Structure 1
């Protein structure tokens, strides 16, 4: 279905990865916010898409099937969003499963590092903290580990847990081999989708951002994001214009942890739902340029 009017939030997470709400709840929140469309973009999994799309039919909200793929470039974690991917593509699903296995290895190494630092934590505690059985295509991520650190008094809140232990350059952070942004863009295209570079302002390196745009050639860039300020938006809008990229927006909604919404509320960053047609066309034609 093509949406001609209204606004959309093209970056949200659910219980399928490190979000706090079910896919259906995200869709209902989007409806309550008056959005025309919402994308489900969980980390390295499309496990939440089916439920979201079913709720979208009931709620009158267009749901964009998506994913956020974890990659590595120049020593930094880089995320690539994929829209309108074929969630039944067996090769793509296997590739995502391999990425989740890598994430599981990283989690185990981070838990070991935390224990070396004197932090009393186990992976069993982290999984138990989910409050439900972990689905076969769902992932455990750093925010889940942060929840346990906060609950046991090792950190004040999730941000403190990342600053003290889990963020890049923090003592328990572990870097594992990941695919490149170029590979992620290729995987997304091969699965019939459209790749978009996520939240470039988070990387703190616009030279690297340009390298990725030139080498991986995503079809779009997330200009509007909860962690982007006005100056960031101006810079990345200019890059979008320079490289002929689709401009997207997303809250990167994960829900509330310890009463704090991370990164932002659903609908706090949006673009016209006409962008969906651009993403569809890019998916069909491997880019608009």
Structure 2
């Protein structure tokens, strides 16, 4: 049976605790799952500590964030089977945790001046598992107070939107994408370029594929366009890259929700990831 190789929990900006996800996967007939929380080793360590849970094999993973400064957009890279003791990877996660917290704590302080009902401490309750305050945690607190009717609705765009710029938006400085790729490789990870349609990343992806900088592409994803899927499949065939699928599950913390197992990775591609990871650990 296939596996869902892209999922988020309360270890980052998802709404569901990590221990509940494997059973979700088992109930839809999956044999494998990667819990790939943003820029953290918590999801990685959980999988190493629980290699099989509820009959589902857990693949250690994290989704690393970088930035393409030439084209001015974020980039997400799925790193499978990284070494959790890697100094470079630990440093990356520490930097991103600090920068995200600085930005969202500043946003929260500004929100206290806008909404007298709101307190930063309430939003921080949603950061207990991750150690990071995300915008989704702030929005969960606002929804509880009756100040927002959803996580990513009109209130979110008013406060955190890009264009027009949100009233309290503060964005962290992201690490250049090639530095992030070097960090993932230093940790021995198998690197898959995530959802290229989301950040209009096809020009960058073409470059990285030609340079041999990625091991695979996430083709089956709810947000990928048919055109990008077709080109990504062709790139995987031409360059012998791994092709994966993942739901990008966030529980309730998503503009359009999808259940675990919506998008999956075939068994043979999971085997390729594992074989490559073993070679890099030797």
TM-score range, shorter chain: 0.7 to 0.9
CA contact (8 A) 1:45 1:138 kept: no
Alignment-derived partner of residue 16 in structure 2: 21
Tell me how far apart the structure 1 counterparts of residues 193 and 91 of structure 2 sit (CA, whole Å). Answer: 22
Tell me how far apart the structure 1 counterparts of residues 239 and 120 of structure 2 sit (CA, whole Å). Answer: 43
Distance 1:150 1:226, change over 3 A: same
CA contact (8 A) 2:217 2:244 kept: yes
Distance 1:146 1:240, change over 3 A: farther
Residue 115 (structure 1) shift: 5.5
Alignment-derived partner of residue 125 in structure 1: 122
Could you list the per-position Cα deviations for residues 187-237 of structure 1 after superposition, in whole angstroms to 9, with x for gaps in the alignment?
111111111111111013532433444458111111111222434422322
From 168, 193, 211, the equivalent of 2:189 is 193
Please list, as runs of the form range in 1=range in 2, the aligned pairs for 1:263-274 lying within 5 A after superposition: 263-274=257-268
Could you list the per-position Cα deviations for residues 80-110 of structure 1 after superposition, in whole angstroms to 9, with x for gaps in the alignment?
1100111233442233112211111221233
1:219 aligns with 2:215: yes
Please list, as runs of the form range in 1=range in 2, the aligned pairs for 1:101-116 lying within 5 A after superposition: 101-112=98-109, 114=111
Residue 244 (structure 1) shift: 3.5
Alignment-derived partner of residue 143 in structure 2: 150
Alignment-derived partner of residue 7 in structure 2: 12
Name structure 2 gaps, 5 residues minimum. none
Tell me how far apart the structure 2 counterparts of residues 168 and 244 of structure 1 sit (CA, whole Å). Answer: 37
Distance 1:243 1:150, change over 3 A: farther
1:203 aligns with 2:203: no
Tell me how far apart the structure 1 counterparts of residues 197 and 22 of structure 2 sit (CA, whole Å). Answer: 27
Tell me how far apart the structure 2 counterparts of residues 140 and 262 of structure 1 sit (CA, whole Å). Answer: 22
CA contact (8 A) 2:46 2:60 kept: no
Distance 1:167 1:261, change over 3 A: closer
Answer with 46-55 or 197-206: which moved more. 46-55
Secondary structure (helix, strand or coil) at the match of 1:44 reads coil
Could you list the per-position Cα deviations for residues 56-87 of structure 1 after superposition, in whole angstroms to 9, with x for gaps in the alignment?
53422111000011211132121111001112
Q: How many positions carry a matched residue from both structures?
A: 274
Alignment-derived partner of residue 3 in structure 1: none
Distance 1:151 1:273, change over 3 A: same
Tell me how far apart the structure 1 counterparts of residues 135 and 211 of structure 2 sit (CA, whole Å). Answer: 29
What's the TM-score once normalised by structure 2's chain length? 0.85
1:178 aligns with 2:187: no
Alignment-derived partner of residue 242 in structure 2: 246
